[in-house]
Amino acid sequence: MIFEKDKFKDECGVFAIYNHNHASAHTALGLHALQHRGQEAAGIVTYQDGKFYSEKGKGHVGDIFSDEKVIDKLPGKFAIGHNRYSTSGETNLRNVQPIFAEFEFGGFALSHNGNLTNAKTLRKNLIKQGCIFQSTLDTEIIIHLMATSRHHEVVDRFIDSLRQVEGAYSLVALCNESIIGVRDPHGVRPLVLGKIENESWILASETCALDIIGASYIRDIEPGEMVVLQNNTIQSIRPFQKKISKFCIFEYIYFARPDSFVDGKSVYEARKKIGSVLALESHINADLVIPVPDSGVPAAIGYSKESKIPYELGIIRNHYVGRTFIEPGDKIRHLGVKLKHNANQYLVKNKKVILVDDSIVRGTTSKKIVEMVRNAGAKEVHLRIASPPTTHSCFYGVDTPDRKELIAANNDTEKIRKEINVDSLAFISINGLYRAMGLEYTEKESFYCDACFTGNYAITLTDILGGDTSKQLSLLSESNK
Ligand code: SF4
């Protein structure tokens, strides 16, 4: 979609429900609440009386699961689901999750949010051993590693498989009447545990998926923790060597929904706090603080509160820009950003305005938005960004452009300012970002994954960069300049 090419893309959303009479309907609702994490495709697998049932499709959850007849084809009290935004493998139905395999112990369905960084090596080795892959998903590697495991019990096979993979993963699995949830040892991607009614448990990427079905938030699954829901009990296992926590800080900046709690923190409050620190770091006198909707809204509220400059909706978003314009013809292509956003001329004319956005990726959208605000008569346009410059790509489950396409990877702030044509431009500093999260930033022991701002990749990238260690080293040293 032309309007969304200039953002990091959300990754995927996962959802699982244990022991509920409306398991498939609740899973569809949960996936609907997680729609922002992936809009390419969605799928649900359920289990009842020795049989698995599966429905998958391309498009939005509402398009695939709103028909009651589709939900009726998914019986059972146990279900898992997945929203796809492709970070590995192209999108055809074979690549739509949950993926499913038959083992001698029964069926096993799996949904994955994340990205495996040693997938190439593992896939090559498995193919050498005779494994035949059905998809191009890195998630399928986990299934083949389970199939070749010498362990007997499903949980042991799953653990054995996960001990061989590297990268970021939050997984939910369905095996007969058991649900298993697990986060990678660094806990890069989120996964929360909730409860509905007496004996029904939920696992989901974000708490907004609990809210929609009236479930209560119990806690986050911890980095490296596996939970097994079976026989009406919940068992917590720590099968991996303990590693330092590296939760994705970009979840707070942009990915997660503002009404979610992620890793125990309100995303909305975190964004407001980031805006407030941004105001302290880069104050400038102006008439109005204007968010770039929707993702810049909480940070702009925080900025306005801290700076005491009035907050106004100087850019209005058209919520009805849908897939009608996914591939516009040449005649309307030039309208670009105007189809989605329009400047509120009444507010901005002859004003000095501060625009607040969450991030700059390529810079192309920011440039158009600034031009639009200037055309509406703004006297001065100052841009404030609620994240540090995005200088590196993500390899942990977020679709990002190549590094060479990231405007901040190749230009300093002054060059970007000129390119975007603003009167001033400032990003929150990495120290400021951590301060907003209530922590001190230390390069060696940073609490979050912040690799797209710092180049400090905590999980090995050798496979991702084609085993070219020199390329990896130069990528890392460039980040330290
Ligand atoms: Fe998140 Fe950036 Fe780390 Fe990717 S590289 S996990 S987007 S902080």
Distance CA 170, CA 172 (A): 7
Give the separation between CA 189 and CA 68, rounded to whole angstroms: 32
The pLDDT of residue 94 is 85
Q: What pTM did the predictor assign?
A: 0.92
325-382 pLDDT, tens digit each = 444 455 555 566 677 889 999 999 999 999 999 999 999 999 999 999 999 999 999 9
Q: CA 463, 465, 469 angle in degrees (round to 5)?
A: 90
The DSSP 8-state label assigned to residue 9 in this structure reads B
- Interval between CA 423 and ligand 1 midpoint (Å): 30
By alpha-carbon position, which residue is closest to atom 2 of ligand 1? Answer: 452
Residues contacting 102, CB < 8 A, separation 6+: 108
Residues (pLDDT < 70) of the chain are: 1-7, 9-10, 86-91, 321-337, 462, 464-481
Q: What is the pLDDT of residues 223-273, one digit of tens each?
A: 999 999 999 999 999 999 999 999 999 999 999 999 999 878 999 999 999
pLDDT at position 321 is: 65
Which residues carry out catalysis? 12
Q: Classify 331 as helix, strand or coil.
A: helix
**Which of 398, 450, 459, 460 should be mutated for ligand 1, with most atoms under 8 A from CB?**
398
Q: Which CATH number fits domain 2-245: 3.40.50.10800, 3.90.1300.10, 3.60.20.10, 2.40.37.10?
A: 3.60.20.10
Q: Which helix (H) or strand (E) holds 342?
A: strand 341-343
| CATH 3.40.50.2020 intervals, the chain | 269-444
Q: Where in the chain is the domain with CATH 3.60.20.10?
A: 2-245
CATH architecture observed for domain 269-444:
3-Layer(aba) Sandwich (3.40)
Rounded to the nearest angstrom, the distance between the alpha carbon of 71 and the centre of ligand 1 is 35
Max Cα distance, the chain (Å): 72
Which pair of structure tokens corresponds to residue 43?
């799928």
**Strands laid side by side in the 106-116 sheet:** 99-103, 106-116, 167-175, 178-183, 226-230, 233-237
CA of 400 to the centre of ligand 1 (A): 10
